[in-house]
Amino acid sequence: KREEAAAAAAASAPELAAASGGGAEAERLAAENAQLRAQIEALEHTTAIYMTLTGVTVRLEAGGQTATCECRGEERTHAFTVDTQPEDGDEGEIGYAPAPGAVGCPGLPDYLLDELIFEREQAPALLVKVMEAVGGGKAPHTPRSSRRSSIMSNA
């Protein structure tokens, strides 16, 4: 959907410039539009790299303060939401909740079966716990090449 919106915006920029007589303001807006589209593309690429490295997919909800996440392993999956501004939290805290109807993933600590609020600095530890449970105590993704296998086994 974002690509479609960016394409529509790109197509409309020249039309806007032509409709306004090709003025400097229209050209400035078209350049700003192109710059913003490039920034969005770079952010989407960065997000894709993080998703590849962690095995966690992240989808921002409306407003951008809540994300629906899913960590997938070979045989296990754990879905959860993260809220960067939980109602009952203080500044610098994050809310975590397993997805509605989520069944406990074997190896997932019991405390991750309930909603909780924690300090932002603890987020990496939470992700490690989820990844360990989904991966059955190992990395969530099985490497496909012998080079990757040797890298993973020497970690």
Residue 60: predicted pLDDT:
87
Over residues 129-147, mean pLDDT: 65
pLDDT in tens, 38-74: 999 999 999 899 888 888 999 988 788 999 999 988 8
pLDDT in tens, 87-113: 988 999 999 999 886 666 777 888 888
Strand 77-83's sheet: what is its strand order? Answer: 56-60, 66-72, 77-83, 93-98, 116-119
Over residues 5-20, mean pLDDT: 57
Residue 53: predicted pLDDT:
86
* Backbone CA torsion sign across 108, 109, 114, 116: negative
The backbone torsions φ and ψ at residue 17, rounded to the nearest 5 degrees and listed phi first, read -65, -40
Residue 122: predicted pLDDT:
94
Residue 143: predicted pLDDT:
46
**For residue 154, is pLDDT > 60?**
no
Do the beta carbons of residue 65 and residue 85 sit within 8 Å? yes
Residue 76: predicted pLDDT:
83
Q: Which amino acid is residue 67, in one-letter code? A: A
- Give the pair of three-digit tokens for residue 15: 């039309």
Cα-based torsion angle of the residue sequence 102, 106, 108, 113 in order, rounded to the nearest 10 degrees: 30
